């Protein structure tokens, strides 16, 4: 196949990627990105884990070490199978805090510390740059393998030149789709969609070659298994240490690799996609690795000895005359390499711009006292520059290392490098006590050990580390040998580095956290991250706003753009119930603004910028206390208000009741007045009539005169009695009554009352049920008044009891030094509605003719009982009307009672 054709195919494929990416971007802008952000696309974008190193390298790896290549896929499988434990929390926190990169995540958790951001960024760059170089190498290598015609050899054979063009092309693509705008969520629809497409291409390519090999070349699965055993080398024996260690290492890497964090957390649009990816991504890995071993085995069988097993995916179909399959495999490898480079350079560039360049630039400007100018364009340009720099580094690394075999090992070396982030990351997720100092210490020590024991020696003795150091240790101390630290010489160099760097990393991280004291903002962020499921929304970190909205709006405009900033401010203002663009500067507003800015420039920078404008650089413990006490005050005040309003409603209810009572009484009083007029008028009328008759004394017989005089007399007595009652009540009510206190026998008083009451409706037979033994109580009280009460109750019973065989039950009880007497008849009783009224003055339930009284009886009784240090109440639900009279057995004088009370 000619070189030109190959280049043309490549360009066509890249053009397709551009088209897909820009289509996705346009759809997203128009809000039609539904299917673009589906779980499927999310899962496919995760396949950026499978780089050219896995596409080409896995076969080579399998040819050299047998099954061990599977560890690189089994570790991530375990992480996704256990997605509920770590990934779910990671993604949730990342989305809630609008994290822009793994450096931003660590920096944000540990008190928005930029120092940590810088450390993680440097670590990721030193691990990521060689990895990018590896991708460039594999693309260049695949070109040269493919090209067979001699005409184009001068160009095709120059791998450096190919790598340069690939790097430039990828930088261009990443800049166009990665820095299109400063997205609030730092999400890149175009990039993700293009990567998803590339994921499909590389899977299809590998599967096609695999199927061809298994069924086209070999005789099916059983034949392949036999050939595997036939080709097995002694090196293929599974080594327990490496097997376990590599599974763990790749599990760590899938969480900590910057490009994986980018697609897994930053580009995630919905937590639920993770539920799909949890099984779909392991399935992808399974499919990718299914045919690796057969391809490797048949390559070893068919290819001449000494050919590079890393290129079997392409060289095997070529050797067997299947150029079309080889071209597909070439595109697959190309996809794997480009997708990794795009995402990795995007993630690294975001870190570089957010944690190194922008903070530096801000500090420089602030030191010079200059305005910060248009941040938006600045940040975009910094990011474009960073992408170019990162890719430039990768290219430079490739050129300097000369495409050596050492580069092939860089994949696992990079894994160990990013694994240094793991302790700080897990601490961020699960340990509230993890502190900034601990994280910084652990990261630095771990990174230093990784560089000394793995990265620097990997270039070969004498390149960076002198051969003398390699053999005899630093400063001639043998226990400082890079591959045999502290005498651990039996371990494989990779495991040796992993063991020491992670051990010391964790140790420093824990010790630093145990011994340091975190700042308030660190503790707030710690609680926020670890307890992400307990509380919706981020914690409050702004308490004493000093800035004006007029100052913040221009700043926000510089970062997120004028329209977007104005819309945001307007929305915030209207949420506060204000018109216009300037909301009140509340802590809530500042938090929302910070979160918004953090989506563009990272948490640490956003915090620093608002701090600069708002004037509160650090949230002190005092601020937090103030917030807390303010809350406490509000709560206290509101509970006071609540109590007050409860009291008010109680009072209102009482007033309403009193009012009701007054109104009823007023009605009764009117009725009474009309009735008492009637009562007074009736006797007065008869007295007047009969006295007029008697004035004509001549015409009357003496008998008639006597009769009329009797009538006049009777009527006068009625009048007098009425007036007596009124007078009596008035005296009793004012407590001016003179009590005649003397010892008396209760039974005798009751006997007297029963006898006296017989005159009322004397013709009715009335049974009185008593138990005389209990009535034998000696009391000391005003016997005459008490008898009056009894007579009244008994007379009422005789008058109102509706029963045909009326009877009244008198029960006497002694309760401590008080006496209770129940008078219960078997009539209809008193309706509930009237029970509250019967003791009121002038109250009468039936009409006056039947009653024959003025309705004062029970009112007088109650006043009497009050004067006797007792009471009379109506007891409902006793089968008839029931009155309970209670009083002190031994009544002291009022003066004595008052003294006792005092």
Partner 1 sequence: MKPPSALPFLARETYRLRRLMDAARFLPVFGFVLLLLPLMRADPQTGTTSAAGEAVYLFLVWPALILGTFLMSRGLRKAFDPSPPPAATAPLVPQRAADPDAARKD
CA dihedral 801, 803, 807, 808 (to 10 degrees): -40
The helix/strand/coil state of 900 is helix
Q: 3-state class of 735 per DSSP?
A: coil
Shortest spacing between CB 209 and partner 1, in angstroms: 18
To partner 1, the closest distance from the beta carbon of 104 in angstroms equals 24
Q: What is the DSSP string of 564-583?
A: HHHHHHHHHHHHTT--SS--
The answer to whether the beta carbons of residues 624 and 520 sit under 8 Å apart is yes
In which region does residue 50 sit, left (phi positive, over 0), alpha (psi from -120 to 50) or beta (all else)?
A: beta
Give me the least distance between CB of 71 and partner 1, in Å please. 9
Q: Is 20 left (phi over 0), alpha (psi -120 to 50) or beta?
A: alpha
Name the residue nearer to partner 1 (CB basis): 225 or 719.
Answer: 225
- CA dist 29 and 838 (Å) reads 82
Give the residue with the Cβ less far from partner 1, 29 or 271: 271
Strands 882-888 and 778-781: unpaired
Q: Which residue has the tokens 């043309």?
A: 8
Minimal distance, residue 265 CB to partner 1, in Å: 16
Give residues in contact with partner 1 (CB under 8 A). Answer: 66-67, 70, 74, 77-85, 225-226, 228-229, 232, 236-238, 240, 243-244, 247, 271-272, 275-276, 278-279, 282-283, 286, 290, 293, 531, 533-534
CB of 225 to partner 1, least distance (A): 4
Give least dist CB 233 to partner 1, A: 9
Cβ-based nearer residue to partner 1, 430 or 514: 430
Helix (H), strand (E), coil (C) string for 646-713: HHHHHHHHHHHHHHHHHHHHHHHHHHHHHHHHHHHHHHHHHHHHHHHHHHCHHHCCHHHHHHHHHHHH
Q: Is 524 helix (H, G, I), strand (E, B) or coil?
A: helix
- Tell me how far, at minimum, the Cβ of 239 lies from partner 1, in Å: 9
Smallest distance from partner 1 to CB 67, Å: 6
Q: Which is nearer to partner 1, 297 or 808 (CB)?
A: 297
For the chain, the first-to-last Cα distance in angstroms comes to 120
Nearer to partner 1, 92 or 770 (CB): 92
CB 568 to partner 1: min, Å: 25
- Return the residue matching tokens 């002198």: 466
Nearer to partner 1, 66 or 583 (CB): 66
- The length of the chain in residues reads 902
Q: DSSP alpha helices (H): ranges in 451-586?
A: 456-458, 467-472, 493-515, 520-530, 549-560, 562-575
User: In this complex, which beta carbon is closest to partner 1, that of residue 271 or of residue 636?
Assistant: 271
CA dihedral (431, 432, 435, 440) positive or negative: positive
Please report how close the Cβ of residue 275 comes to partner 1 at its closest, in angstroms.
Answer: 4
Left, alpha or beta for 473 (phi > 0: left; psi -120 to 50: alpha)?
Answer: left
Q: Which of 175, 125, 187 is nearest to 383 (CA)?
A: 175
Q: Report in angstroms how near the CB of residue 302 gets to partner 1 at its nearest.
A: 18
The distance of closest approach from Cβ of residue 488 to partner 1 in the complex, given in angstroms and rounded to an integer, is 21
Alpha helices by DSSP H, listed for 48-179, are 52-55, 57-65, 71-81, 87-96, 102-109, 114-146, 153-156, 159-178
> 172 or 279, CB closer to partner 1?
279
CA distance 214 to 290: 11
CB closer to partner 1, 66 vs 178:
66
CA–CA separation, 59 vs 65, rounded Å?
A: 10
Nearer to partner 1, 147 or 228 (CB): 228
Least distance in angstroms from the C-beta of 594 to partner 1: 26
Cβ atoms within 10 Å of 218's Cβ, excluding its own: 19
Alpha-carbon dihedral 151, 153, 156, 161, rounded to 10 degrees: -110
């Amino acid at each position: 196949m000619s070189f030109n054709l190959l280049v043309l195919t490549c360009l066509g494929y890249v053009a397709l990627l551009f088209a897909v990416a820009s289509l996705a971007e346009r759809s997203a802008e128009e809000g039609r990105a539904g299917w673009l952000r589906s779980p499927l696309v999310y899962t496919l974008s995760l396949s950026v884990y499978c780089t050219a190193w896995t596409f080409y390298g896995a076969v080579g790896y399998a040819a050299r070490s047998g099954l061990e290549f599977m560890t690189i896929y089994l570790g991530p499988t375990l992480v996704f199978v256990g997605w509920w434990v770590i990934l779910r929390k990671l993604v949730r926190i990342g989305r809630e805090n609008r994290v822009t990169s793994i450096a931003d995540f660590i920096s944000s958790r540990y008190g928005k510390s930029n120092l940590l951001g810088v450390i993680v960024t440097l670590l990721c760059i030193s691990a990521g740059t060689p990895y990018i170089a590896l991708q460039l190498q594999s693309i260049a290598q695949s070109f040269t393998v493919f090209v067979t015609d001699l005409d184009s050899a001068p160009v095709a054979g120059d791998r450096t030149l190919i790598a340069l063009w690939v790097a430039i092309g990828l930088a261009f693509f990443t800049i166009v789709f990665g820095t299109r705008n400063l997205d609030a969520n730092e999400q890149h629809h175009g990039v993700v969609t293009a990567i998803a497409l590339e994921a499909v291409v590389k899977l299809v390519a590998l599967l096609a070659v695999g199927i061809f090999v298994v069924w086209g070349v070999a005789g099916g699965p059983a034949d392949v298994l036999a050939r595997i055993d036939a080709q097995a080398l002694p090196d293929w024996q599974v080594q327990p240490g490496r097997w376990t260690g590599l599974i763990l290492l790749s599990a760590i890497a899938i969480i900590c690799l910057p490009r994986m964090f980018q697609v897994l957390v930053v580009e995630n649009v919905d937590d639920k996609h993770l539920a799909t990816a949890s099984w779909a991504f392991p399935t992808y890995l399974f499919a990718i690795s299914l045919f690796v071993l057969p391809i490797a085995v048949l390559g070893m069988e068919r290819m001449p000895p000494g050919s590079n097993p890393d290129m079997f995916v392409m060289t095997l179909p070529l050797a067997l005359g299947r150029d079309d399959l080889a071209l597909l495999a070439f595109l697959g490898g190309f996809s794997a390499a480009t997708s990794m480079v795009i995402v990795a350079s995007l993630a690294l560039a975001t870190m570089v711009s957010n944690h190194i360049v922008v903070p530096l630039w801000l500090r420089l400007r602030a030191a010079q006292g200059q305005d910060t100018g248009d941040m938006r364009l600045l940040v975009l340009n910094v990011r474009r520059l960073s992408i170019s720099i990162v890719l430039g580094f990768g290219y430079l690394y490739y050129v300097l290392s000369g495409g050596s075999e050492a580069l092939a090992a860089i994949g696992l070396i990079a894994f160990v490098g990013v694994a240094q982030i793991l302790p700080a990351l897990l601490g961020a997720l699960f340990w509230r006590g993890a502190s900034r100092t601990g994280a910084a210490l652990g990261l630095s020590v771990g990174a230093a050990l990784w560089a000394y024991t793995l990265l620097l020696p990997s270039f070969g003795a004498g390149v960076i580390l002198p051969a003398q150091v390699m053999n005899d240790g630093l400063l001639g101390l043998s226990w400082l040998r890079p591959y045999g630290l502290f005498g651990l010489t039996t371990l494989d160099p990779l495991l040796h580095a992993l063991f020491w760097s992670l051990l010391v990393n964790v140790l420093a991280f824990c010790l630093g956290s145990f011994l340091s004291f975190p700042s308030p903002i660190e503790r707030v962020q710690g609680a926020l991250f670890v307890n992400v499921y307990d509380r919706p929304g981020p914690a409050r970190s702004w308490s004493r706003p000093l800035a004006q909205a007029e100052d913040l709006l221009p700043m926000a405009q510089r970062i997120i753009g004028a329209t977007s900033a104005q819309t945001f401010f307007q929305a915030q203002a209207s949420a506060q119930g204000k018109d216009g663009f300037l909301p009140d500067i509340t802590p809530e507003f500042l938090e929302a603004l910070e979160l918004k800015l953090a989506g563009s420039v990272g948490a640490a920078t956003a915090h620093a910028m608002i701090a600069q404008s708002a004037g509160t650089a650090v949230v002190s413990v005092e601020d937090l206390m103030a917030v807390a006490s303010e809350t406490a005050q509000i709560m206290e005040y509101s509970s006071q208000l609540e109590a007050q309003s409860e009291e008010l409603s109680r009072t209102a209810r009482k007033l309403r009741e009193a009012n009701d009572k007054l109104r009823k009484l007023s009605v009764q009083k009117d009725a009474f007045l009309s009735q008492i007029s009637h009562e007074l008028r009736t006797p007065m009328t008869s007295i007047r009539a009969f006295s007029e008759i008697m004035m004509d004394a001549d015409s009357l017989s003496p008998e008639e005169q006597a009769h009329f005089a009797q009538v006049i007399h009777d009527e006068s007595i009625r009048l007098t009695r009425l007036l007596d009652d009124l007078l009596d009540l008035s005296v009793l009510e004012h407590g001016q009554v003179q009590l005649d206190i003397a010892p008396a026998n209760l039974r005798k008083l009751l006997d007297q009352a029963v006898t006296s009451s017989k005159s009322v409706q004397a013709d009715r037979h009335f049974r009185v049920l008593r138990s005389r033994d209990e009535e034998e109580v000696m009391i000391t009280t005003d016997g005459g008044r008490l008898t009056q009460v009894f007579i009244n109750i008994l007379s009422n019973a005789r008058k109102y009891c509706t029963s045909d065989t009326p009877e009244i039950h008198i029960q006497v009880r002694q309760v401590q030094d008080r006496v209770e007497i129940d008078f219960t008849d078997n009539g209809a009783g008193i309706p509930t509605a009237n029970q509250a009224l019967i003791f009121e003055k002038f109250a009468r339930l039936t009409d006056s003719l039947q009653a024959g009284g003025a309705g004062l009886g029970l009112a007088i009784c109650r006043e009497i009982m009050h004067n006797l240090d007792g009471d009379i109440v109506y007891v409902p639900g006793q089968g008839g009307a029931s009155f309970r009279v209670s009083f002190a057995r031994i009544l002291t004088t009022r003066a004595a009672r008052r003294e006792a009370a005092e």
